[in-house]
Amino acid sequence: MKRYLYLWHRWLGIGLGTFMALWFLSGLVMLYVGYPKLTPREHLARLPPLAQQQCCVPVSQVLTGEGEAPDSLRLTTVAGEMRYILRHGSRIQVLDARTGEPLGPVDEAQAVASARQFASLQNPQYQRLVNEDAWTHTRSLDAHRPLHRLALDNGTLLYISSQSGEVVRDASPTERIWNRAGAWLHWVYPLRGGALDDWWTDIVIYLSLAATLMTLLGLVLGVLRWRFTRPYRNGSRSPYRGFARWHHVGGLLFGLLALAWIFSGLMSMNPWRIFTSSAPLDTSGYAGGELHAAHFPLAPDAALQQLQARGLQARELHWLLIGGRGYLLGVDAEGNSLLLAADGSAVLEALPDAVLLDAIQEVSPGVQLHVERLAAHDFYYYPRAEHSMLGHLPRSLPVLRVRLDDPEQTWLHIDPRSGTIVNTLDRRQRASRWLFALLHSWDWLPLLERRPLWDGWMWLGSVGGLVISGSGMVLGWRRLQRVRSRRVVPARQRPC
């Protein structure tokens, strides 16, 4: 039996050693440079203030009641012009804010104008219309495809939504260069966008599964070959020399950490949908109805004037319905916000807890709510560095955590300042927090809040993983060379 363990570990290592080494190397790059994205902070910072005088047609011309009500409505500036942007699921509708006229798909000239608003000191050069390329492999951009791609003088690529005309992604030269050795390589993105694109998910899952098995076998064999009591004849507790010794000792020292990283990488793919709830919570009841003009009697220009009077120069204005009550949320260039009652009767820095809990109760009528007000981040609610995969998502404080006694034991985090549900976590998603986020990027506050300590831990484990995989690659190459040499029959021994 032990012989088969050796054979499985050896041949899995020969096949996967290079992938393991690349994963550890690219993971080091990702500690500091993430996959390109446009963060909310960057988006807001590039917007001009919303004009207050005769800025827009009333909302009654936007929310006419004809057809399906939108999921969201906001007022923003696109290519120097104010626009109402409505979201219907994955479909985007855009209206001219001054006339109320619907606008069609964005053309090349409009994309260039949008890029000029975003980067006023640059001269954008239009390249082409792309559906997906190396820097846009993300489902969050699906509603905006195809994308207009433009290049700035400094080499930055901008991607413009063909539906709304907004800049939805930027990729600087630095990000692109480092990503070739970072996220693009780590996530096996060379297989995306080509003939293997449909099988990319399965390929990554089964590569990770095989690598997990290989690492586990290596740990078992490493322990079996280590002499804990009586040393070998050479005085060592390892029977190996050279690269084999490095592989053996490195595996014993860093094998568990390598196993945790490979296994958690597998969990990041949500294999076989193990973290997907069979009955996810429907939070649509939180709004308490649909977005209709009757909920919002206050004119947009009057709302902007009230916000200005309170010191907020709004870059965007959002129309919200919470528990059947209408609100307008103004957001400035730094992400600061204020809420207005939809009738203009009050300006609020935050909504009362009672209003939020009444709205949550409509999500699950009759279900008991357990409410906690978080004044500090904890294991399930915490920020990450902005360049990291989810670092662009705000995790502001204070926040309400509401635990529901529903079948999935769902938790909701609600931001009182915006009245929005920040995220939902059912028990499967909380399991993913342990099996993916903790084990893969060590999202543990005692480390995250002490960055030099977190960096040192990640570097130590990564270098250890490179020692294991690098020495394994050398051993695998030597094994293949020996196999090949045995198969080659010298010419003098060949029959005539």
Identify the weakest region by mean pLDDT among 33-37, 39-43, 253-257, 477-481: 477-481
% pLDDT > 90, the chain: 83
Cβ(98)–Cβ(55) below 8 Å: yes
pLDDT for the residue numbered 485: 80
pLDDT for the residue numbered 327: 97
160 pLDDT higher than 90: yes
Distance CA 443, CA 268 (A): 14
SS3 at position 157: strand
For residue 181, which of 386, 15, 24 has the smallest C-alpha distance? 24
220 pLDDT higher than 90: yes
SS3 at position 200: helix
**Average pLDDT for 287-296:** 94
Question: Rounded to two decimals, what is the model's pTM?
Answer: 0.91
**Average pLDDT for 185-203:** 92
pLDDT for the residue numbered 307: 95
**Biggest alpha carbon distance in the chain?**
103
**Average pLDDT for 266-292:** 94
pLDDT for the residue numbered 490: 57
Tell me how far apart the terminal alpha carbons of the chain are, to the nearest angstrom.
Answer: 42
**Average pLDDT for 127-146:** 95
Identify the weakest region by mean pLDDT among 72-81, 132-141, 232-241: 232-241
Distance CA 90, CA 456 (A): 42
Identify the weakest region by mean pLDDT among 109-118, 233-242, 247-256: 233-242
pLDDT for the residue numbered 233: 84
3 pLDDT higher than 90: no
Higher-confidence residue of 443 and 490: namely 443
pLDDT (tens digit per residue) in 428-459:
999 999 999 999 999 999 999 998 999 999 99
pLDDT for the residue numbered 176: 97
**Average pLDDT for 123-136:** 96
Name the pLDDT band for 195 (thresholds 50, 70, 90). Answer: confident
pLDDT (tens digit per residue) in 316-328:
999 999 999 999 9
For residue 40, which of 10, 13, 74, 6 has the smallest C-alpha distance? 74
Q: Which helix (H) or strand (E) holds 327?
A: strand 325-331
pLDDT for the residue numbered 53: 79
pLDDT for the residue numbered 193: 83
What's the mean pLDDT when you consider all of the chain? 93
Name the pLDDT band for 390 (thresholds 50, 70, 90). Answer: confident
Q: What is the DSSP string of 91-105?
A: EEEEEETTT--B---
496 pLDDT higher than 50: no
pLDDT for the residue numbered 488: 66
**Average pLDDT for 18-35:** 95
Look up residue 476 and give its two tokens: 């695998």
493 pLDDT higher than 70: no
Look up residue 24 and give its two tokens: 């550890």
378 pLDDT higher than 70: yes
pLDDT for the residue numbered 489: 53
CA distances from 362 to 206, 279, 411, 423 (A): 42, 17, 15, 17
Identify the weakest region by mean pLDDT among 210-214, 255-259, 311-315, 476-480: 476-480
Cβ(152)–Cβ(163) below 8 Å: no
Distance CA 187, CA 207 (A): 11
